[in-house]
Amino acid sequence: MAFLQRAIEAQVHRLVGFGEGATDLDNPPGDPGLFGPGSAAWRVHGDFTAMITGGIAALFLQMLHPRALAGVWDHSRWREDTLGRLKRTAQFVGGTTYGGTGEAERLIAKVRAIHAHVRGTLPDGTSYSAEDPDLLAWVHVTEMRCFLEARIRYGPDGLEPGDADLYFAETAVIARKLGATWLPDTRAEADAYLERTRPELRHDDRTRQVAEALLRQSAPNPLVAPAGRLFLRAGIALLPDWAARMHGFRRPQLTPLSAWSLRRLAGALRWAIRDGSPARGMRRAAALDKAGQPRHKAAAGEAG
């Protein structure tokens, strides 16, 4: 069983690029990071199944915004590496949630530097920029909405009363550091924002091509292909009804068999993943010096 556990964990780490040097979750000892172990962000982001399905849902939701889609269309290798954005999102969210304060700030600065070069013009002549505060808000809110919905629907017990609102208030810190201005601080505000934004959304030929590329994306390993297909269906099931209709998904909800299979898969993954981002972040945050004090001064006050 130990061999199976390690094999599953290693496969998950490869899928999200864990251990590739993209993030340092171990230093400095004692630093709680931007949120800390008692935060709603740690609780929401701590389940792999919820994060992967929520990430898939976010991709389908985000691509309905013409300017968000244009950045992907013009500035990424989406045809050859459809899952690359999901992997990079996992690294960014994992690092900014569970990494130390300095590591989170480094990742944010890296993304801001990339955004500075992501700009262009839509087919209708409308200009776009990844530094646009409104576009940053769209990407942030759709991600957080989908991660939270996935955690509620597919994750284990453990969320506390008020976590949904607290989650939006906490994670807004990241989006503001990226350049967003107005952001929702509660779940109700996030839902209202999505409704207000609906008139700006479109499903056109570009949307169809990017969505089809995601639907056809092959698994990195044939052994995990069934799990990949299940995650895809579960992600689509998280979409708001109106977004599913825009994509033409006729039966977006999971069947009873698929729901049962996802629960079994999620349980197996929780058993297998023992040294993921939450565990490493917890070890770093809990590290003490010989006098029994947090090694990093940020642990004694606000994390930033």
Residue-wise pLDDT for 81-137, tens only, equals 777 888 889 999 999 999 999 999 999 999 999 999 999 999 999 999 999 999 999
In a domain, 136, yes or no: yes
Record the pTM.
0.91
In a domain, 166, yes or no: yes
In a domain, 304, yes or no: no
Domain count, the chain: 1
In a domain, 192, yes or no: yes
Is residue 304's pLDDT more than 80? no
Question: What is the sign of the dihedral through the CA atoms of 148, 151, 157 and 158?
Answer: negative
d(CA 124, CA 126): 6
In a domain, 278, yes or no: yes
In a domain, 297, yes or no: no
Give residue 67's region: left, alpha or beta (phi > 0; psi -120 to 50).
Answer: alpha
In a domain, 295, yes or no: no
For 212-268, write each residue's pLDDT tens digit: 999 998 877 777 889 999 999 999 999 999 999 999 998 778 999 999 999 999 999
Question: Closest Cα to residue 153, out of 53, 42, 16, 24?
Answer: 53
Q: Which domain holds residue 238?
A: 2-290
In a domain, 231, yes or no: yes
* Residue 102, both tokens: 């300095």
